[in-house]
Every structure is written in C-alpha cells, then in structure tokens.
Amino acid sequence: MSKFAIAVHAGAETVKRAEVTKELENRYREGLEEALQAGNAVLEKGGSAIDAVAAAIERMEDNPLFNAGKGGSLNLHGENDFDAAIMDGHTLNVGSVGSVRYVKNPIKLAKEIMIRCKHSFLSGTGAEEYALTQGLELEKPSYFVTEEKQKEWHESVLGDHRQKSHDTVGAVALDQHGNLAAGTSTGGLENRLKGRISDTPIIGGGTYANNPYCAVSCTGEGEVIMRGATAHEVYALVKYAGEKLEKAADKAVTMYEELLQGDIGLIALNQQGEVAFAFNTNLMKRGYSISGKKPHIALWDTEKL
C-alpha cells in the first residue's frame, strides 16, 4: 500500500486561554478526529485526495462547533452565508463558491463546480441555482444558526461591532496514487458586510494545490491572507526557492508581517507525506494522520505536532 496522508484545521485565532474550557477543548479535539477519520476512510480504500478532502470538510461543516456550514458566523444583518473552494493538485482543476446561503455543504457545491461546471467560481443566487440543478441538499436559514452565534451577534450589535470570529475549516490530502488536493470552507467574519467574500474561495489566497510541490489550506483573517496570496506563497517558496515544506509554511505566514497584520494559519502537505503547520496565533485547531495511523491533534501553540 502506498503512503497516504491527511491534515485538517478548524481555525486559527488569538484568544484568551481561559475562554476555552476543558470541555470545549475536548469537543474541538473530537471534531478534528472525526474529520480525519472521514478523510482516512476514503484514502484507505484507494479513494482520491479530492474525495478525502471533501469528506473531511463536510464533517466539519456539519459540526456546529466550527465556523463553516451549521454554526457559521453571522453578518451585520444577522444572516449566514458561506464560501468554499477545492483544488485538484493533479489536474489544477478548481471549484469555488462565494456567498451562498442555503446549501447545506458548500464544499460539495465547490466540488460539483470543479467536476461538472464550465466555470470555476460561482457566487450568490447563481451558485444556489447551480446547486439545485445538481440535486444538492438545501436547508432553510435557521438550520445554520446556532444559539451561540445568535448570542454573539446580538452582543456585537449592542456593543462595539468588533469582528471576532474568523475561523475557517480546511483539509489537505495525499492519496495512494500520489495526488494532492486542498479544500477550505468558511462561515466568514462575524459582522461582515453583506456580499463580503473571504480568502477561502480565492485560488492562491486561501486554497492551493499543485502535485509536485504542495497542497495548502489557510485560515485566519481573510483580507490579510488574500492580500498576501498566502497559499500560493507556500507553493512559490517550495518551487522557486527550494525551501523545505515546513520552512516555506513558516515564511509564508511571517514574510509580510509589517504590512499584513492579523491572524494567519495554514496547513500544508507534499507528495512525500510531509505535513506542515504554521500560524501566528496562540490557538490553531489542527491535526493529521499518516497512512491511516492514529491521528495527532493539537490546539494550542505550546503543543507540538
């Protein structure tokens, strides 16, 4: 059996450690492990990296703990909308979706766009209509709104309109055929303007995969990641500067830190099955598994993987 691997993230943020209870930590770890198991189930059977990435992200979209799909952050009007992207490192085919409201699993729509659509990026009602043509599952708006996110939104409306939550979920995978894939999905910034699109569906911004080099999924403050073309920066450092994956990941996060100030995190994977995590926050929900072995999971910057 050839080596296969998967890594996932569920957001990078700078938080007060006391705000994250032990119970919440345990639930984060369980959610990450479930996502890794979903991806591994595909890879162990010889499935594609694309299918593994989609399976892992779908599991996190269904988990109300994470800011993607159910449990996504609310915009300034108290509404949910979602961005997602997926990229095939073998073909360089991509599917991106922006500002969709009713699609239960935005990563599924991104995958359908990549496989079947003549375009690479659909947004808003056009993307939702395409989801209907593909028979994807839709949900009413209330499905996505959790009590916690509703409370956060009410507090922010009454308070100072701080943009707090900016978690994102993502996965990168290597299949037994040696192909890489990357995918990312997000509920966006809390209190964002209606119509705002994150870095997540921007190919080279929050998502990128290219077989000989690496697959990357980013998380953090979207405007910062978009401006830095962070996912592509990792690829460029590996390809053109000959950097090892871990060093390339670290450099991509810090390279323009004087100009791009904000939370940034990423996961990366190459064809050798090497995994890299880089972030400038104290919390980065992350994990990986190599060839179906026991998952390694971490949350805090003091934990090493």
Catalytic residue positions, numbered:
168
Using DSSP bridges, classify how beta strands 121-123 and 94-100 pair: parallel, antiparallel or unpaired: parallel
Tell me the H-state helices in 67-163: 106-116, 124-133, 141-144, 147-158
* Cβ neighbours for 45, distance < 8 A, ≥ 6 positions apart: none
Whole-angstrom Cα distance, residue 266 to residue 268?
7
In sequence order, the β-bridge partners of residue 95 are 86
Residue 198 in marked binding region: yes
Distance of alpha carbon 45 from the chain centroid: 24
Consult the annotation and say whether 220 binds a ligand: yes
CA distance 146 to 240: 45
197 annotated ligand binder: yes
The 8 Å CB, 24+ separation contacts for 153-159 are 153/74, 153/78, 153/190, 153/191, 156/190, 156/191, 157/78
228 is in an annotated binding site: no
Residue 222, annotated as binding a ligand: yes
Any known ligand binding at 39? Answer: no
CA gap 237, 208 in Å, rounded: 13
**Which is nearest to 283 in space by CA: 28, 36, 5?**
28
Q: How far apart are CA 186 and CA 191, in angstroms?
A: 14
Gap between the Cα atoms of 27 and 23, Å rounded: 6
The verdict on whether residue 219 carries a ligand-binding annotation is yes
Binding-site positions read 196-199, 219-222
Binding-site positions for substrate read 196-199, 219-222
